[in-house]
Chain A
Amino acid sequence: MTIIPQPKNRRRVLIASLLSIIPGLGQIYLGEVQRGLVLLFGLPAQTAIFWAIGGQWLAATTVIIWAWNILDARKLARGTKVSLAVPILLLVVLNLAAGWHVTKIDLYELATGVPNMRRIGVSLFQPQFVVRDVRASAVYTVPGPDVTKLGYRSEPASDAPNISVSPDSVVKGQNVTVSGRKFPSNQNGVLRINVGSDWQKISIKTDSNGRFISKFVNQSTEPGDYIVEAIIGLPFNQWHPSETLKLTSRLMLETIFLALVGTAMSIIVTVPLSFFGARNLMKTSRAGRIAYAATRGLFNVLRSIEVLIIAVMLTAAVGIGPFAGVLALAIHGIGALGKLYSEAIESIEQGPIEAITATGASKLQVIAFAVVPQIIPQFISFTMYRWDINVRMATVIGLVGGGGIGYILMQYIGLLQWKEAATAIWLIAAVVMSMDYASAVIREKLL
């Protein structure tokens, strides 16, 4: 069926098209006020946003929506209301493009940069948990015009494993003798000689006195210092935790306690406050309703400020360190726990309260027997959950100077000590995962 435009209809179409040069006016003229208003204010706003974040070219793309607006007005004038699917889809695509621009996504850089991560990636799988060997190193020199012998030929402590090279100044093709002492006896090992960017490896074995002697031919011509390192395996019963593991474990514990104290501090404040944030208890009087609104408002504000931001603000007051971290966790936790506690109180059943009141029990007894048993499991469960979150947050707070394991992790990364960093990262992962699991199990038991 074809609609032959009536003269009147034609005039409507013309007026609508002309009006909609200013987006939305055509629609308003045709009675679609809501759609018109959205276009009238929304389109300029969207254009302005694009201009602000992406410049004139991005802003210009909204001309497509403007064109759609005119078409829409003309269709409306002819009596059909077009679906909004097309312009909404367009807007989503345009905004995603703008987002791409803002976040500076650079796939080329990602593709070319990934190989640089190889060393980090490999190190991630070589965390230093257990010491399984003893290492000692020495240096020899290939002399040349610019080479001054390295000052250090440190005298090893007499009871520590050590090696020496002789002669310690050699030319290409000359034999070098390496002797070691004070190593574990009768153990296999390897001698690594630094050749340019690579390592030459020679198998060695210690005698019953923990000594070994080995020879190699120097291949290097380039003048400079070369490192020789002996790595002797430890018998199984002498394996021991690495210094890194000891340090990071201690700091991990510190982090868990930081989270614990932060959680405890928020509980102390939140338990009494949460009763004021429970609508069912507060709705009976005007003062109660005001207290309810104020308490919930406070919870919302505290909850919406990120822990990191609070921590950074607090460092101005109490300086960098764990204390700022604890306070930040506590303050944010009041908001988060407060909401959960209040909702737990709101959800208690009135029945048992009524029944125990009816027996002639005192208010205190009613609270002890009818209210507390109903809220305790939920309080414990929410608190476990919070502690669990706080451990995760505490590691991040450490990154900005709030103490704990995050702080040392930041240092390892700064010094490119990837294996040490890996130790910390795996430890964090293990602790977070087990706390997550434990709190899930406990919560399931309680509810």
Chain B
Amino acid sequence: MSLKIEHLTKIYDDGTVALDDVSLEVPDGQFLGIIGLSGSGKSTLMRCINRLIEPTSGRIWLDDVEVTAADSNELRKIRLHIGMIFQQFNLVKRASVLTNVLTGRLGYLPAGTGLYRRFPSEEIKRAERNLARVGISEKALQRADALSGGQQQRVAIARALMQEPGILLADEPVASLDPATAHSVLKYLEEINQSDGITVICNLHFLSLTRRYAHRVVALKSGKIVFDGSPSEIDNARFREIYGEDAEEVEVR
């Protein structure tokens, strides 16, 4: 799915300007990395795309559907196509891995279904397939909080895959993981991007990871886009511009 953002501004109730007239186009199938200091507005941008946060002004389209014009019913339908994963994984800790994955499918089911924790058997099969895809089939019946961080993030990816999304938003998906695990998680995102053609927008803290995985990089600073281009174009001068004068690049291998 392609994404188009026009003049997006978000001002929080307390007056913080988190996004300041951001315009951006993401073509179908791109792996876009978004970088920037913490507080630069990366999370706000992601949450405006699926309207977990209401934009103050500006317009957003997914393909040719205007997200910002949708009423709450239409919005739920749009959200079906937008998968999202988070830094803190945001699994229901006490529920099983399988149940967590199945919650990704709730939007496709009639509003009443699933309330008794009963899912149609074809959905359970779909969940098992997605768990197999991220390589943790054997954990299906364990409680989500019994898994390691990397495994939990893979469950979250399986949950997003249940939506059969056209676009996947990843808000610092590896920020709470160690470098080796970070790569294993990002490789799944890369694989999804390449074999399913799902557009991926991924907030990343480390430039080195962005260089390794992203086709294109957008840098935010104080809610404004200060760089938009290929990762290889970011030299030392550009880096200082984005991260500040005292910053130094850290390698994550």
State the A residues within 8 Å of B (CB): 349, 351-352, 354-362, 364-365, 368-370, 373-374, 377
Contact = CB atoms under 8 A, between A and B. Distances in A.
Nearest to A367: B115
B84 A355 contact: yes
A358 B115 contact: no
Contact of B115 (A351, A355, A364): A364
A254 to B, nearest CB: 36
Given A365-B114, A368-B114, A368-B115, A360 B95 contact: no
B207 interface: no
B165 to A, nearest CB: 9
B111 A362 contact: yes
B92 A365 contact: no
A352 B92 contact: yes
A363 to B, nearest CB: 9
B84 A362 contact: no
Contacts of A352: 90-93
Contacts of B77: 360
A354 B90 contact: yes
Contacts of B111: 362, 364-365
B52 A357 contact: yes
B38 to A, nearest CB: 18
B174 interface: no
A358 B92 contact: no
Nearest to A351: B90
Contacts of B160: 359
B82 interface: yes
Which residue among B92, B93, B99, B156 has the maximum number of chain A CB atoms within 10 Å of its CB?
A: B92
A365 B114 CA distance: 8
B94 interface: yes
Contact of A361 (B50, B86, B106, B156): B106
B52 A354 contact: yes
A98 B73 CA distance: 70
Contacts of A365: 103, 106, 111, 114-115
A364 B110 CA distance: 11
26 contacts: A349-B93, A351-B88, A351-B89, A352-B93, A354-B86, A355-B91, A357-B52, A357-B79, A358-B79, A359-B103, A359-B107, A359-B163, A360-B76, A360-B106, A360-B107, A360-B163, A362-B111, A365-B111, A369-B95, A369-B103, A369-B114, A370-B103, A373-B92, A373-B94, A373-B95, A374-B92
